[in-house]
Amino acid sequence: MSIVDQVIAWYSVHMNYASITALMTIESSFIPFPSEVVIPPAVFVASEAGSPLAVTGNYLMDVAFIVLFGTAGALLGAMINYALSVWLGRPLIYKFADSKLGHLCLLSAEKVERAETYFNDHGKVSTFVGRLIPGIRQLISIPAGLSRMPFGQFLLYTFLGALAWNCVLALIGYVAHGQMDVIKTYSHELSVAILVLVAVAVIYVIVRRFVSTKRG
């Protein structure tokens, strides 16, 4: 049994707001852990009094609080990445990413560079949109720290992005009825759908500004 499987087994017995916050903090930091196994199962348990986990009383959890505590955890994990990036600086971050420990955390210089390029190309809003992109979600806080993005703006965009993603996960947990294969499929498809909607919204704003400027 892998470490992730062991954590999932532990979580199924100790599912509460504290464990949700802790696991989402881990997921949002540089330690690899899937958010899909945290929020959706908790929402399923909270919405189904007849669930097998109902005997623990966990179904009394509220969906809104699950999302809130999950978002708080994601924010804490992102703050860890941001602080480490500011403290260590670019050379040490890249060196760590290519170290054995970094590889154990599924990091690489290429992944960090990809996140940094995405951040540089899309600016501050990338801290929001990046939370919705698999492979970028956990790393987007690193380039934010490396570029010394204003901390208040970083917290705001990260909070909004994490909240949006956790709402998506909550919806998936409700619809998928705790089936992990369905959860994984839906999470990928909804990530793509959200990104398309964001892209359309951005294009709309740009076109509208261009038309207004031309008319003026």
Quick one: which of 20, 56, 22 has its CA closest to 39? 20
Stated length of the chain: 216
pLDDT score of 58:
47
Give the pLDDT confidence of 10-38 residue by residue, as tens digits.
887 888 899 999 999 988 887 767 778 88
Give the pLDDT confidence of 96-146 residue by residue, as tens digits.
777 877 767 667 778 778 777 777 777 777 788 777 776 677 788 888 888
Judge contact between 149 and 124, C-beta under 8 A.
Answer: yes
Q: What is the DSSP-derived secondary structure letter of residue 4?
A: H
For the chain, the distance separating the N- and C-terminal CA atoms, rounded to the nearest angstrom, is 65
For residues 79 and 142, give the distance between their C-alpha atoms in angstroms, rounded to a whole number.
9
Give the pLDDT confidence of 139-161 residue by residue, as tens digits.
888 888 888 888 998 999 899 98
Tokens of 175: 């619809």
The predicted model scores a pTM of 0.75
Q: Tell me the HSE value of 202 on the side-chain side, using a 13 A CA sphere.
A: 10
* Mean confidence (pLDDT) of the chain: 76
Tokens of 107: 């990091």
Give me the domain span that covers residue 117: 3-215
Q: Give how many domains the chain has, as a whole number.
A: 1
